[in-house]
């Protein structure tokens, strides 16, 4: 990880959200509709709208919800190291924990990333 210069909270949040969106597209070939989030001290919370891939949606639409859930679970496990790396690279701060959960019903994914320490931020005023 390279050392990054202090940014405002808003700048860092935008950088993180863009990095997450890019890693979704690059790794899964899927462009989520909206990625929103908030950084609070050393915690990042993210909500991703339309995070379910076309293949998963196809399975759901054809009555294969259980198989779609298995695919989602395995995709999340395989995707997690890429997501963690993208977040750590954007902040230059290691994560102590990364938790994510997806809902096939709503198409949303929630992510909680916990950093080893809070990023150094500039005042936005």
Domain chopping of the chain, boundaries: 11-118
Contact 21, 31 (CB under 8 A): yes
Please indicate, yes or no, whether the overall pTM of this predicted structure exceeds 0.85. Answer: yes
Give me the residue label for tokens 């001290």: 41
Give pLDDT tens digits for 18-53. Answer: 999 999 999 999 999 899 999 999 999 999 999 999
Rounded Cα gap, residues 26 and 29, in angstroms: 6
What are the backbone dihedrals phi and psi of residue 124, each rounded to the nearest 5 degrees, phi first?
-85, 0
Give pLDDT tens digits for 70-88. Answer: 999 999 999 999 999 999 9
The pLDDT score that the predictor gives to residue 125 is 58
Give residues with Cβ within 8 angstroms of 16, minimum separation 6. Answer: 37, 39, 44, 46, 87, 90, 91
CATH for 11-118 (3.30.980, 3.30.70, 3.40.630, 1.10.4190):
3.30.980
């Amino acid at each position: 990880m390279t050392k990054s210069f202090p940014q405002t909270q808003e700048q860092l949040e935008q950088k993180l959200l863009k990095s997450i969106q890019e890693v979704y597209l690059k790794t899964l070939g899927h462009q989520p509709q909206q990625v929103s989030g908030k950084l609070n001290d050393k915690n990042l919370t993210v909500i991703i709208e339309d995070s379910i891939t076309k293949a998963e949606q196809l399975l759901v639409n054809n009555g294969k919800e259980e198989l779609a859930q298995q695919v989602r679970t395995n995709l999340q496990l395989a995707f997690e190291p890429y997501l963690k790396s993208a977040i750590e690279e954007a902040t230059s701060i290691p994560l102590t924990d990364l938790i994510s959960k997806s809902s096939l019903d709503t198409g949303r994914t929630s992510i909680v990333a916990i950093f080893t320490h809070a990023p150094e931020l500039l005042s936005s005023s």
